[in-house]
């Protein structure tokens, strides 16, 4: 049986602000722009039904020990992109179809992916790491050219090359950065999952955050052979 072809029709002028947009099967649209995320965060922080005082005061809810904003009495930045979905994510199954549109700072370019709810949640956890987490943002220069809807392996490859180029091929420096990044992001991913458990019962979100650290796991485990494999792949493509 021939695979069914999917045609996506979008009015790209509707997606003006940088961020991630999700269109669900029933035409529900979710905006994950910085402006909308900040509005939802403020509303939820002020609503004790959404985030009870017991959750706010819990040890697990506090910022990571190495976060530059540790001790600040507010919401962990890394969780902010998840908030617009907390009230509706239980209405959908992991393999329900989703169209994801990501718009970066480029005024014209949009990246589109037709995927599943499960993978879309991974996109959100990637967005959390790259654009919101105070620790992830510390490594911002290594994420240049990487977008949240990239495949995990593709992201790891691009991340490795960015680190390699930034340190001019110095293997010791590259290894140190990858090891440090892997250690910190593994901890932040686990902490994010613990915070989510205090305000959300949905396993899909929890799994998405736990799986975020796979990116740095792949990067760390393959760091000694990444460059050789990428160069071989490039050589084959130009023959």
Give the residue-averaged pLDDT of 127-155.
86
Residue 6 lies in a domain: no
Give the C-alpha separation, 101 to 96, whole Å: 16
SS3 93: coil
Give the residue-averaged pLDDT of 195-211.
74
CA nearest 61: which of 72, 178, 88? 72
- The mean predicted confidence, pLDDT, of the chain is 82
Q: Going by C-beta distance under 8 Å and a sequence separation of 6 or more, which residues neighbour residue 106?
A: none
Residue 10 lies in a domain: no
Residue 160 lies in a domain: yes
Residue 9 lies in a domain: no
Residue 11 lies in a domain: no
% of the chain exceeding 90 in pLDDT = 10
Residue 51 lies in a domain: yes
CA torsion sign for 52, 58, 60, 64 is positive
pTM score, whole prediction: 0.79
Residue 7 lies in a domain: no
Q: Going by C-beta distance under 8 Å and a sequence separation of 6 or more, which residues neighbour residue 163?
A: 142, 174, 177, 178
> What pLDDT sits at residue 204?
67
Give the C-alpha separation, 13 to 158, whole Å: 29
Number of structural domains, the chain? Answer: 1
Residue 62 lies in a domain: yes
Domain span at 231: 17-238
pLDDT, tens digit (0-9, with 9 covering 90-100), for 35-84 = 999 999 899 889 998 888 998 889 889 999 999 998 887 889 988 988 88
Q: Going by C-beta distance under 8 Å and a sequence separation of 6 or more, which residues neighbour residue 187?
A: 64, 66
């Amino acid at each position: 049986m021939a695979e069914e072809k999917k045609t996506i029709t979008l009015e790209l002028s509707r997606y003006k602000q940088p961020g991630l947009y999700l269109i669900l099967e029933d035409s529900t649209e979710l905006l994950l722009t910085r402006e909308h995320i900040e509005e939802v965060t403020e509303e939820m922080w002020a609503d004790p039904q959404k985030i009870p005082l017991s959750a706010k005061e819990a040890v697990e809810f506090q910022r990571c020990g190495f976060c530059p904003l540790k001790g600040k009495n507010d919401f962990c930045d890394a969780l902010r992109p998840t908030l617009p979905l907390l009230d509706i994510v239980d209405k959908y199954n992991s393999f329900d179809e989703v169209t994801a549109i990501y718009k970066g700072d480029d005024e014209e370019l949009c990246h589109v992916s037709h995927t599943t709810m499960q993978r879309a949640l991974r996109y959100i956890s990637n967005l959390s790491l790259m654009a919101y987490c105070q620790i992830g943002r510390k490594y911002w220069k290594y994420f240049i050219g990487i977008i949240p809807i990239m495949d995990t392996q593709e992201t790891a490859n691009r991340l490795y090359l960015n680190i390699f180029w930034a340190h001019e091929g110095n293997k010791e420096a590259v290894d140190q950065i990858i090891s440090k990044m892997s250690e910190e992001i593994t901890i932040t991913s686990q902490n994010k999952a613990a915070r989510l458990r205090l305000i959300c019962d949905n396993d899909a979100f929890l799994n998405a955050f736990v799986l975020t650290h796979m990116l740095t796991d792949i990067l760390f485990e393959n760091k000694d052979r990444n460059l050789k494999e990428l160069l071989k792949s490039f050589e084959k493509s130009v023959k």
